[in-house]
Structure 1
Amino acid sequence: MPQADLNDLRAFRAVAEARSFTRAAAQLGVSPSALSQTLRGLEARLGLRLLTRTTRSVSATEAGERLLGTLGPALDEIAATLAALGDLRDRPAGTIRITAGEHAAETVLWPALERLLPAYPEISAEVHVDNTLADLAAGRFDAGIRIGELVGKDMVAVRIGPPLRMAVVGAPAYFARRPAPKTPQDLTSHACINIRLPTHGGVYAWEFERGGRELRVRAEGPLVFNVAPPLLRAALAGLGLAYVFEDQAQPYLAEGRLERVLDDWCPPFPGYHLYYPSRRQPTPAFALLVEALRARD
């Protein structure tokens, strides 16, 4: 039977149970004449009389009684299923796929997920840790996390972290062999531990700024990594200077295992932002994640 006939079946049930076209029409919000025409059309398609009509009453025929006996529970089940689907739409549930760099995943994403997931067990997260600027659509990601200046203008960007700073650090044993650099240009005579980032097209050039003057230094050294964690280990071993996020180096600076140089050339810059396409319709689960991540001033 065509899908459109579902409404006709509802109309038949209303008339059969009310035993009146007038009362059933009032329940359904239609005119008695329109309701009568709907039932005649249904009977014509079935090739059966479903209702016996008199001037004073309406009653179901034998075929009508059989149809009503199975139709009522079936329509009730359909209504219950649709209501349950509505609850699912409004309930925070489902998997959220996010792409983020290593530092962002550790410092801002994980703390938010640690708070969110236990409170909402029907939400799950799939985190793709990658230092490239992943294509959200191609990777089927719901959102990404990157430094604010790297987020495209066509994206919705939500600030989720405080400003960041970089730090140039080395071990005391390293500085016992070489004098500390006074300017970024002095790094060309130092052993520098580098990282190769796909977003920068090769070995990352260390970025500095002071008094409105910006410098990029391509320093050389004994080691190049494609991920950040080994940079600190190499610096702690005295193999050279590393250019890392300030918060990563802070525990070792406090312990005296690392020393910082060129501090006045490393000003703060905009921190991490969650970004996603402006056309995206947020689900309840995604809206909760945004709220959990949103930076509080």
Structure 2
Amino acid sequence: MAGTDFNDLMWFKAVADEHSFTRAAARIGVAQSTLSHTIKRLETNMGIRLLTRTTRSVALTEAGERLLRVMAPRVAEIEEEIAQLMEFRERPSGSIRLTLSQHALDTVVWPKLKSVLLNYPDIGVELSLDSSFRNIVEDGFDAGVRLGESLEKDMIAVRIGPDWRMVAVAAPGYVAAHGAPQHPQELIGHNCINMRHETRGGLYAWEFEKDGQELRVRVNGQLTFNKSEPMMDAVLNGLGIAFVPNSLADQLVASGELVLLLDDWSPFFDGYFLYYPSRHQNLPAFRIVVDALRQK
């Protein structure tokens, strides 16, 4: 392996992290053909195959998995040392990758983060919007955002938002025409607007709780979405009952544009937390982002 370029190894790691030549090339900032040629050169120099390529995906061979397992902690140590050396600069710098949902971005992260980016122009932040539970270490993220009930036990967690809840809402016209359910089971007789999991493909079950009794209701209706924005437009136009985060509904309920249903069946739960491995906590740029997002 004498003469192997360290950049070739780093590009291999990018492909392994992304499981895609296309995404890895975009992340590095090179042409896909250049990246593919570099990986072939690395495999030729080493005399082993590191990746298995198909038309849809890229997978690691046994040798590739071993190389990545050896490389990953050493690369992380180098990146951490370099980042800590940046403390000697007048202005903190570095790149941070976060995975989070659209709702977390809109309600908590972006309102707090945008001023940081203005004040620290040398800090770069990549925001990957995804509703699934990503493995931030394996997928090359510095941190992720999840609800408190879904946090991984071996991560540092910092609360970045208030408690919130899911609420059932409908337009006044719909309630006048069809009545208001008094119990979650009564939703089965209503035209409900469903939400489909973006990654798992199934429909969300509406979860309720009162006096220690928990209920999961599978509802039916005319409409199904995988995003909240069109769902809110549908409910405002009287097309059924929606089950949405209270942050999307509170103002509309206060103005009378929506009616809150089953209020006593909708308790608050832990809000959003930023979670990350302990090795990131001393990086200057990362500390600035964490402090900006931290719930005061």
Q: Partner residue of 1:126?
A: 126
**Alignment equivalent of 1:88, drawn from 86, 89, 107:** 86
State whether residues 133 and 199 of structure 1, in contact with CA within 8 Å, keep that contact through their aligned partners in structure 2.
no
Distance 1:121 1:175, change over 3 A: same
Q: Partner residue of 1:196?
A: 196
Q: Partner residue of 1:140?
A: 140
Displacement of 1:280? 3.7
State whether residues 168 and 242 of structure 2, in contact with CA within 8 Å, keep that contact through their aligned partners in structure 1.
yes
Distance 1:201 1:90, change over 3 A: farther
Displacement of 1:113? 1.1
Q: Which 10-residue stretch deviates more, 183-192 or 169-178?
A: 169-178
Distance 1:85 1:141, change over 3 A: closer
Q: Partner residue of 1:250?
A: 250
Q: Which amino acid aligns with 2:133?
A: L
Distance 1:250 1:85, change over 3 A: closer
**What do you get for the CA RMSD once the two structures are aligned?**
1.9
Deviations 1:129-177 (A, max 9, x none): 1111122133311111011111111221111111112211001111122
Q: Which amino acid aligns with 2:166?
A: M
The sequence identity of aligned pairs, in percent, is 49
Q: Which amino acid aligns with 1:294?
A: R
Give distance in 1, aligned partners of 2:262 and 2:178: 15
Alignment of 1:175-190 (within 5 A): 175-190=175-190
State whether residues 97 and 142 of structure 1, in contact with CA within 8 Å, keep that contact through their aligned partners in structure 2.
yes
Q: Partner residue of 1:70?
A: none
State whether residues 90 and 284 of structure 1, in contact with CA within 8 Å, keep that contact through their aligned partners in structure 2.
no
Q: Mind listing any 5+ residue stretches in structure 1 that lack a counterpart?
A: 1-83
Q: Partner residue of 1:103?
A: 103
Displacement of 1:200? 6.4
Bigger-Rg structure (1/2): 1
Distance 1:85 1:101, change over 3 A: closer
Give distance in 2, aligned partners of 1:128 and 1:85: 22
Alignment of 1:193-232 (within 5 A): 193-198=193-198, 202-232=202-232
Deviations 1:209-229 (A, max 9, x none): 111111111111111111222
Deviations 1:176-220 (A, max 9, x none): 220100000000001111111257661110110111111111111
Q: Which amino acid aligns with 1:165?
A: R
Deviations 1:45-78 (A, max 9, x none): xxxxxxxxxxxxxxxxxxxxxxxxxxxxxxxxxx
Aligned residues: 213
Q: Mind listing any 5+ residue stretches in structure 2 that lack a counterpart?
A: 1-81
State whether residues 174 and 239 of structure 2, in contact with CA within 8 Å, keep that contact through their aligned partners in structure 1.
yes
Q: Partner residue of 1:174?
A: 174
Q: Which amino acid aligns with 1:174?
A: Y
Q: Partner residue of 1:238?
A: 238
TM-score (norm. length: structure 1): 0.68
State whether residues 193 and 224 of structure 1, in contact with CA within 8 Å, keep that contact through their aligned partners in structure 2.
yes
SS at match of 1:197: coil
Distance 1:86 1:136, change over 3 A: closer
Q: Partner residue of 1:117?
A: 117
SS at match of 2:219: coil
Give distance in 2, aligned partners of 1:189 and 1:218: 11
Displacement of 1:121? 0.9
State whether residues 209 and 265 of structure 2, in contact with CA within 8 Å, keep that contact through their aligned partners in structure 1.
yes
SS at match of 1:202: coil
Q: Which amino acid aligns with 2:132?
A: T
Give distance in 2, aligned partners of 1:120 and 1:279: 22
SS at match of 1:112: helix
